[in-house]
Chain A
Amino acid sequence: MQYLVREGQEGKDEVKLAQILSECFDPGTPRQVRRWLRQAKKDSAGWSRFFVSEVDSDVVSSISVESKELHLGEGVYVKTGGIAGVCTCSDYRRRGLMTNLFRQSFKYIKNSGVSNSSLYTGLTLPAHRIYRRFGFCDIQTWPTYIKILDFGYVFRRWIRDLNRHLKSSKIARKTLQEWNCSVVFEFEDAGTQSFRFRNGHFQRLAKPPKSADLVMAIGVETLFRIMWGAIKLDGAIERKKVQVKKGSDADLRLLEKVLIRIWDE
């Protein structure tokens, strides 16, 4: 595969960028991408850049570099090249595109006289391995505090978000293309919620089906911990935080992917 790496161009790349960013993160529009790039440029006094790789005149991956200054102690702030928006279209992953984009970004950071780089990512994301290879070390994970006031709404919204995510994620559609499954969550503290996935679409069910494919007893907090990557579904089952009353291993594996939205193997 032949490809090229170039500096991204405002006013030209936003549409394609929005598509690939939507596949990797939350769905976004070209307008939002434009606003984000402009804000980054403003905040870093014109220093920020984004780089893209192109296959057959099509943007397939991108990375953005922003200028930040971090406090390292005793009132001393050190400039850092903040890496953001790292994404590759799922059709082009594992082909070294991101490695080359990273090299380009590091060259830009170093040539600008910046000694270091920093970024936020997820420990369970495949990209974490790439970052380690480039010399990044884990500094800090963190907790988020959550209070749920209307779990019924949160569950409905989650189903809607999954359908939106499916629209923009080829890899998610591909992973779930053969899946046909009804899932019932029996929450200790929030009643029963259920959904069905059929024909590439999630549907919340007002009533749990009589013969669901997957039935599990789980707490709301445990569900959130799995969704946010704090614990794995397997681990939660082992520790009896989740009780699987009915369901195959294959369905459980796909449900975990749906919960954490990481589709790469």
Chain B
Amino acid sequence: MQFQIRRMEKDDAEQLQKVYQRFILNYVGSAARRLKVFQRMTKKKDNLRWVALDEQGKIVGYISSTYVKGRRLGRISEIVVDPDYDFETVADPLVDKVYDIFVEKNVAVIHAGSIQNPYYRQVFPKLGFFDVETDGVFMYAIIDAAKFLEEITPIILTRLKKVHDWNGWLQISCEERERFFRKEGEHVQSFMWTNYDIDCRISLNADTLTSVLLGTVDAQKAWEKGMIKVETALRNNEVKKFLATLFPKKQFLALDHW
């Protein structure tokens, strides 16, 4: 499929936001962005922001980059592609375009970073970029476990619905706080407390909970290592399946730094 490339325009902000929102749904850890962020992005008058359009003229991806003249530094800040399209196919012409502009501007060095876009390794090495594993790290802390469990309840409810061959009461405990869930077929509900008999009790500390939610620890392996405790009548392979549905492996990706 051929894509048309053009400079980002003022009126693109809303479409860019939609593409961004669809893109980050496949990942965890990305920040929500208000329309203003994209309006700011499209306001810049340099030629370092480009969009890829499909045959209908719909934006299917974009690249945003910056040039620091005093340092002769080109920086590719982000590449976002609609998940319905192949990342590499859309990103390649966008990167080529910006790369050529950087060369015209006589840059001395180009940086391209994101945390942790898996597609970058398909896009940049073939252009002669080398990768440096930096010592930068994203850290996360749960301050209020009860509130956090309440906030992630919609996630657990959605995933619990996908557990097909199990019904009953589920308790998730983290740092001595708990949340209860009841599943009856397609019907799932969450409760603050109950004295019903619990069919499956999952206990994990704050570190493990954030790690499995943010995709850096595999829940099944964490259970095997004793980082997650599961009290249930389910057999081992059923527990594994259950955990894989509740805490599926996700890819962490962050495009915003602070």
Contact = CB atoms under 8 A, between A and B. Distances in A.
Given A78-B152, A148-B108, A150-B108, A143 B141 contact: no
A110 interface: yes
B115 A73 contact: no
B1 interface: no
B30 A71 contact: yes
B143 A121 contact: no
Interface stretch (B58-66, B132-140, B228-236): B132-140
Nearest to B213: A72
Given A115-B151, A121-B136, A147 B257 contact: no
A224 B123 CA distance: 20
B112 A140 contact: no
B210 interface: yes
A116 B132 contact: no
Contact of B133 (A118, A135, A141, A151): A141
A145 B109 CA distance: 11
A128 interface: yes
By DSSP majority rule, is chain B's interface helix, strand, loop, or mixed?
A: mixed
B258 interface: yes
Interface in B117-141: 120, 124-125, 127-141
B110 A110 contact: no
B109 A121 contact: no
Contacts of B25: 71, 75
Contacts of B256: 68
Contacts of B103: 149
A135 B258 contact: no
A137 B130 contact: no
Interface in B196-214: 206-207, 210-211, 213-214
A145 B135 contact: no
Contact of A141 (B137, B141, B258): B137
Given A73-B213, A78-B151, A143-B131, A157 B143 contact: no
B132 A118 contact: no
Interface in A63-80: 66, 68-80
A144 B134 contact: yes
B151 A230 contact: no
Contacts, number: 231
A256 B250 CA distance: 37
Interface in A172-197: none
A156 to B, nearest CB: 9
Contact of B152 (A76, A142, A150): A76
B108 A118 contact: no
A228 B133 CA distance: 8
Nearest to B154: A76
B72 to A, nearest CB: 6
A139 B135 CA distance: 12
Given A110-B143, A149-B107, A150-B72, A116 B124 contact: no
Contacts of A76: 151-152, 154-155
A63 to B, nearest CB: 12
A147 B139 contact: no
B132 A135 contact: no
A74 B254 CA distance: 16
A207 to B, nearest CB: 21
Contacts of A121: 136-137, 139
Nearest to A81: B143
A142 B136 contact: yes
A150 B102 CA distance: 12
Interface in B61-110: 71-72, 103, 106-110
Interface of B: 24-25, 27-32, 34, 71-72, 103, 106-116, 120, 124-125, 127-145, 147-148, 150-152, 154-155, 158-159, 206-207, 210-211, 213-214, 216, 250, 252, 254, 256-258
Q: Give the top 9 A-B pairs by smallest Cβ distance, nearest first.
A: A229-B135, A115-B147, A115-B148, A144-B113, A136-B139, A150-B108, A145-B124, A69-B32, A142-B115
Given A68-B32, A135-B206, A141-B133, 10 more contacts: A68-B256, A71-B25, A71-B29, A123-B137, A141-B137, A144-B134, A145-B124, A146-B110, A147-B130, A157-B71
